[in-house]
Amino acid sequence: MVSDPRPFPPGEYPAIVVGSGPGGLQASYGLRRHGVAHAVLSADPAPGGMFRKWPFFQRLLSWTKPYAPEAHTSREYQRFDWNSLIADEPELRSLQAEFLDGTSYFPSRQEMEANLAAFADRAGIEVRYECTWERTRRVEGADGTTFVLETTDGEYRTRILILAVGVAQPLMPSPPGIELARHYAETREAPSYAGKRLFIIGKQNSGFELASGLASWASQIVLSSPSPAKLSVVTNSLVGVRARYVQPFEDNFLGLGVSILNASTDGIARAGDGYRVDLRRTDNGMPMSVAADEVIAATGFTCPLQDLPALGVTTFGRSGLPAVTPMWESVSVPGIYFAGTISQAAPGLRKHGIPANSGAVHGHRYNSLIMTRHIAETHFGVEDARPQVAERDVLGYLLREATCAPELWHQKAYLARVVSVSGDDGIRDEGILPLVHALDTLERDVIAMTVEADGTGGIFPVIYVRHGGRVEEHALPGHPMRDFATTEHREAAASAISAVLPSFART
């Protein structure tokens, strides 16, 4: 009998990561960096997660610039590369650029998958593939909770469970006749829609991805949902339908082949060889019907959290996201953490309504590294360095971070460069932390530097100072070329931090 060559046989592990998409790979890398032994389990046969399947058409919505002002191996280059995972080793950095063929700076699905597979391979991330998590139990002992994962390969036990299983379980709406519709996830090859009249429920990116991808095949495309669609170029953020998918809007305004409706779906019924979709208009409540050959529900996805809600994991919202702390730990079942796109469950301050980018790789890759450092420190006694910062260097350091730090640019008003100040041991660099965590949790005085946007198109640095338990916010000026290290910025920043570092009051 040949023994199973896969790593991580059933048993007990200090930590377990579930998932082999970008979130799972980055979390495993982060745990290893801090010396935390762990197993990685995945139901898939290979790395890549959702990028093994989606998006169906065209390319990703996140780009990587092969040519940029910064060297590929530098930290600063990460601002120009939304798709690679993060590593200390230069040879593991910025792998996506290697897999672009020059036709677009938006990778194809296959190019993204190759990038992630290369990271897993070259970083030596071990995964037990084709091992499906099916059920979960909690065992309470004198020294805390153990989670038991029942899988297709047997039982795994751990005290620290990190779930990076994506937000990829199709979510269907509930109108009568919805069983006649297919979910976005069941979309077929484009030529099979040739000459068909398509009715798409949902006006998010996935709906417009289909409308764009099928425009050259379908004879008519109708997109409908009760609320008006938002456009990212109008919200001045990533909120709304992305610039890549605005063509259907133009077609709608020109009255050519695409109709975009604000209406609720009352029901779907068979009519002849096709379907009749009954609607109610949002503006006046009047009923209307649309004939279609195919109905597709591009209505989003939920978290495949299996039986965790029954175990006490609180969830919220249409996507069934887990309620988590700013460090991405379940608020109701400590010991369960969430990485990857599920990390969007920790919303941060959402200032001016602009969400963090935790739903995408360029946001959650940093969340994973922060979370794994936190896990290593709080559960495994590993202490990461908090280097001292000389007082004369603080200002220049913070302004350089505001100008160049990829974490601050990709996770605006969400992640911060944090230095803490104490009379005992001076100024310490706490690293990159969630802003909310820095403001609410650290016991020392805090200076937190973020980059923010307010939805008007402006981008500017903000310094938060927590001194004696009170928090003050100091917005610094913007700059046409996004250079935040000018004399004007130095003066404004010096004034801001003088509450905790009085020597800067004179600067």
Partner 1 sequence: MATREEIADILAGFTLFGDLQTPQLLSVAGVFEEVFFPDGERILRQGLTGSGFYVILEGGADVIVDGTKRSTLQRGDFFGEVSILLGEPPTADVVATTALRCLVLAGPAVQGFLESHPKVMYRMLQAQARRLRNANRWRS
Interacting residues with partner 1 (CB under 8 A): 173-174, 225-228, 239, 262-264, 280-282, 285, 302, 309, 314-320, 323, 325, 331-332, 347, 349-354, 413, 440, 452, 454-456, 471-473, 475
Task: Measure the CA–CA gap between 381 and 327, rounded to whole angstroms.
Answer: 17
Closer to partner 1 by CB, 197 or 203: give it. Answer: 203
Task: Report the half-sphere exposure of 177 (CA within 13 A, side-chain side).
Answer: 17
Closer to partner 1 by CB, 226 or 478: give it. Answer: 226
- Asked if residues 70 and 39 have their Cβ atoms less than 8 Å apart, the reply is no
Closer to partner 1 by CB, 103 or 174: give it. Answer: 174
- Asked if residues 182 and 222 have their Cβ atoms less than 8 Å apart, the reply is no
- Asked if residues 122 and 34 have their Cβ atoms less than 8 Å apart, the reply is no
In what helix (H) or strand (E) does residue 206 lie, and over which residues does it extend?
A: helix 205-213
CB of 268 to partner 1, least distance (A): 15
Label residue 254 left, alpha or beta by phi (over 0 means left) and psi (-120 to 50 means alpha). alpha
CA angle 372, 386, 432 (to 5 degrees): 50
- Asked if residues 136 and 308 have their Cβ atoms less than 8 Å apart, the reply is yes
Closer to partner 1 by CB, 22 or 240: give it. Answer: 240
Closer to partner 1 by CB, 286 or 385: give it. Answer: 286
Place of tokens 């109008």: 234
In what helix (H) or strand (E) does residue 159 lie, and over which residues does it extend?
A: strand 154-163
CB of 365 to partner 1, least distance (A): 24
CB of 359 to partner 1, least distance (A): 13
CB of 433 to partner 1, least distance (A): 17
Closer to partner 1 by CB, 84 or 265: give it. Answer: 265
Closer to partner 1 by CB, 218 or 308: give it. Answer: 308
CB of 39 to partner 1, least distance (A): 29
For 224, 263, 271, 280, the CA distances from 287, given in Å and listed in that order, are: 13, 9, 17, 4
CB of 331 to partner 1, least distance (A): 4
Label residue 130 left, alpha or beta by phi (over 0 means left) and psi (-120 to 50 means alpha). left
CB of 174 to partner 1, least distance (A): 6
